[in-house]
Amino acid sequence: MDRDYVLKDQGRFNPTKLGTAVTGLLTQHFPDIMDIGFTARIESDLDEIAEGEKQWAPVLEKFYSPFGKAIDKAMKEAERIPRDQIDEETDEICPDCGRPMVIKSGRFGRFLSCSGFPECKVSQPLLHRVGVECPDCGSDLVQRRAGKGSKSRNKIFYGCSNYPTCTFASNARPLPQPCPECTGLLVAMGRTNCRCLNCEHKGPRPEEELVEATV
């Protein structure tokens, strides 16, 4: 597979399998902290500390004593979550062994890996498609982050998923609507305006784009 995998469009608020698994573990082993009333009580205690009505040390002791015991108990009793309950399935196929590729989470974020790991160690970056075609070659434009060797390390930019064959890139977020003057690629300028990369057109964003941006 020559191209990086492009993550298919997903609902913005869809929970991941990892998030669901972590929430389940926290609810099982730390039910008091996961209780919405806990946050309200802590906020009330912090307000009283700020106003000088309570001392911080007793409040911290009251919280940490049972919390520390809960951590020790969870470290002993919590069961390891099987990988198949964490990894996100995709419809991509490993180019080396033919197994399905899955989305995994690592220390540097999410990435695409062969489901046959550790027998097969194929992995690829996980890129987010922005729903706009590259103006140079027609491939998907994807969100990227500048690498370690860049002066703008970790800065988000948008490039062609067919890189390095196609080197198109833009620091501004591409918009799906074409330029009203030349049908070129529009990119966002601030929260409400846009400009064309092909001509000198500048103006407010298309109305449908503004509606989506506020959701």
pLDDT in tens, 98-110: 988 888 877 777 7
pLDDT at position 1, please? 36
Taking the model in full, what pTM does it have?
A: 0.50
Distances (CA, A) of 75 to 24, 31, 68: 15, 15, 11
pLDDT at position 11, please? 42
pLDDT in tens, 177-188: 999 999 999 999
- Cα gap 41→33, rounded to integer Å: 10
How many other CB atoms are there within 10 angstroms of residue 120's CB atom? 15
Domains of the chain, by residue range, sit at 17-77, 173-215
What does pLDDT average to over the chain? 83
- Cα gap 23→28, rounded to integer Å: 9
Contact 87, 115 (CB under 8 A): yes
Handedness of CA 46, 48, 51, 56 (dihedral sign): negative
pLDDT in tens, 124-134: 877 788 889 99
pLDDT at position 106, please? 75
pLDDT at position 8, please? 44
pLDDT in tens, 184-202: 999 999 889 999 999 999 9
Read off the tokens for 172.
């501004």
Which of the four pLDDT bands, split at 50, 70 and 90, describes residue 148?
low
- 12 or 185: which carries more pLDDT confidence? 185
pLDDT at position 93, please? 86
Average pLDDT of the segment spanning 98-123:
85
Q: Given a cut of 50, is residue 167 above it in pLDDT? A: yes
- Cα gap 114→123, rounded to integer Å: 6
Residues 76-107: b if buried by 16+ CB within 10 A, e if exposed: eeeeeeeeeebbbebebebeeeeeebbbbbee
Average pLDDT of the segment spanning 151-175:
87
